Amino acid sequence: MSRKQFGDVHQLIHDLLDRHESNPEASRILAYIDEDALHTVEERDRFIQALSAVEAAGGIIVQRKLTDGAPTLGHVRLANAAVLYAHVNRTPAGVGASAALGEARARPDLPEGALKLLDEIASAWSRGVGRFGLAPGDSSGLSASLDLVHALAIRAEDGGVAPVDYRTFSRLAGTYSKALERFVSTVPRLFERLYPDRVPMAELDPADWLATLGVIRTPQLLIVSGPITIATEPVPPLRFYGVPPEQGDQLGLAAQVDYLLTIENYTSFVRHAREINSDRSALIIYTGGFPSRSHLRQIVRLAVKAQAPIFHWGDIDDGGVRIFGHLERTLAERGLCLLPHLMDVAALYEHGVVRDRHMRTADAPPRESAVRGLWEALVTSALVLEQESLSPRHPRKPI
């Protein structure tokens, strides 16, 4: 491993301090001089003069040695960090962390256990290390993240709350409009620590995690195909309908349906509605990718009302399996069984393409899941299949 070398005294000092902050107990922190960066005698003389001044003040110890009979400089060892902080006018990370966290500790809306979490952040920041995706000393980022977490906690208590986009949610939370976009990976991690009893679901991507609470980049209409009524009134026989999800309770069924099918991707939903469900004999629901909490509530409500076989059609990949599993668990809580449609091992091997990323073990469905065998095939084959690659078909309940 090559040693990092310096031809600038200030950069050398900051490197020593960075490593001192990341490991305060280290007793031997060394830096090395880049002789090749000192192109002229004048540059070398200025460098040695600046280095000697810091050494004379007690901040460093410079190793001197003979190379081919000529005096040369060896490594530079940190001797007194306080001298170096003063020399480059730098605030120690520990001092900066304490000041940055002072406002956060004084917040009146912190739940039980929050001070322990803030102590973790302070410990990391004092070593010049980020924590929960927050850079050392980023007090404004921490404040915005805590605002967002608090707003999410309130939202988590109301399962029927209307979907909202990231920027509107950020403003409603009392912070700037792009805050959630900036801290989209930080906010779920803080939420899970501060409100473990309200966590929607473990091991989800941040965007999917937020979607379960109805916070999505662009709010989706609740789009359905089939013999529906709105506020008990019949509607014209269109291929499909879109309603505001917060008014989804007004959707009903005008007739018995042969099956209920949820579909992950919009193109596949439209094709199925037009090519297969033109007679409106089934109820087809577009999930909008990972279904928001309000969409999920309507799916369950309509599934109970339909009293028909329930299927889901999605991508054959880790994301598709996650979505299926989320629907499967939620429906099972109401005693309903979900079956995969066009999500089988045969389709994967016949039409799949090589995936370009690893699958997370945490995404594996339980052994009793209807897609457990598909998951195992995904792992062993290293293939994936987007559902748009397949043409729509009538679902068939296994015999």
Q: The CATH number of the domain where 348 resides is what?
A: 3.40.1360.10
- Same domain assignment for residues 22 and 126: no
Q: Is there a single domain that holds both residue 29 and residue 109?
A: no
Q: Report the distance separating Cα 264 and Cα 288, nearest Å.
A: 6
Give how far Cα 94 sits from Cα of 29, 90, 98, 127, 272, Å: 19, 12, 6, 7, 59
pLDDT at 88 over 90: no
Two tokens, residue 111: 């739940």
In a domain, 397, yes or no: no
Q: What is the pLDDT of residue 159?
A: 65
Query: Does the residue 15 lie in any domain?
Result: yes
Residues in Cβ contact with 175 at an 8 Å cutoff, skipping those fewer than 6 apart:
143, 144, 147, 148
pLDDT of residue 259: 98
Of the residues 216, 240, 267, which one is the last residue of a structural domain? 216
Could you tell me if 47 and 126 lie in one domain?
no
Residue 169 lies in a domain: yes
- Tell me the percentage of the chain whose pLDDT exceeds 90: 55
Contact 266, 214 (CB under 8 A): no
Residues 79 and 201 occupy one common structural domain = no
If asked whether residues 272 and 331 sit together in one domain, one would say yes
Please write the tens of the pLDDT for every residue from 8-54: 899 999 889 888 877 888 888 898 888 888 888 888 889 889 999 98
Query: What pLDDT sits at residue 160?
Result: 58
Least confident range of 91-105, 295-309, 324-338, 377-391 = 91-105
What is the pLDDT at residue 19? 86
Q: Which of 167, 199, 216 is the endpoint of a domain?
A: 216
Residue 295, C-beta contacts closer than 8 angstroms, at least 6 positions apart = 163, 220, 222, 245, 248, 285, 287, 288
> For the residues 163-177, what does the mean pLDDT come to?
92
Spatial contact of 316 and 374, defined as CB atoms under 8 Å apart: yes
Indicate whether 105 belongs to any domain.
yes
Residues 264 and 350 in one domain: yes
How much is the pTM? 0.66
Assigned token pair, 292:
């928001």
| Residue 372, amino acid | R
What does the pLDDT read at residue 363? 78
User: Token digits for 163?
Assistant: 């979907």
In a domain, 346, yes or no: yes
Mean pLDDT of the chain: 89
| Mean pLDDT value of segment 216-224 | 87
Q: What is the largest CA-CA distance in the chain?
A: 100
Q: Among all chains, which residue has been given the structure tokens 């001197």?
A: 64
Same-domain pairing of 359 and 316: yes
Same domain as 374, residue 240: yes
> Looking at the domain assignment, is residue 282 inside a domain?
yes
User: Does 245 share its domain with 310?
Assistant: yes
Range of the domain at 162: 93-216
Report the domain count for the chain: 3
- Reported confidence tier of residue 5, pLDDT bands at 50, 70, 90: confident
Q: For residues 142 and 146, what is the distance between their CA atoms, to the nearest angstrom?
A: 6
Q: Indicate whether 237 pLDDT > 70.
A: yes
**If you average pLDDT over each of 124-128, 136-140, 214-218, 305-309, which comes out highest?**
305-309
Task: Among 196, 216, 236, give the residue marking a domain's end.
Answer: 216
Q: Is the pLDDT of residue 1 over 50?
A: no
Q: How many CA atoms lie within 13 A of 206 on its CB side?
A: 16
161 and 200 share one domain: yes
Q: What is the pLDDT of residue 137?
A: 83
**Cα 359 from Cα 238, distance rounded (Å):** 40
Residue 385 DSSP class:
B
- What is the Cα–Cα distance from 382 to 367, expressed in whole angstroms? 20
Mean of pLDDT values over 54-65: 87
The answer as to whether 21 is a domain residue is yes
Strand partners, 311: 261, 339
Written as one letter, the residue type at 134 is L
106-127: per-residue pLDDT in tens?
899 888 889 999 999 988 888 8
User: Same domain, yes or no, for 357 and 230?
Assistant: yes
Q: Is 380 a domain residue?
A: yes
Q: What is the DSSP string of 31-73?
A: EEE-GGG--SHHHHHHHHHHHHHHHHTTSEEEEEEEETTEEEE
**H or E element: which one contains 142?**
helix 139-156
Same domain assignment for residues 58 and 143: no
Residue labelled with tokens 């013999």: 227
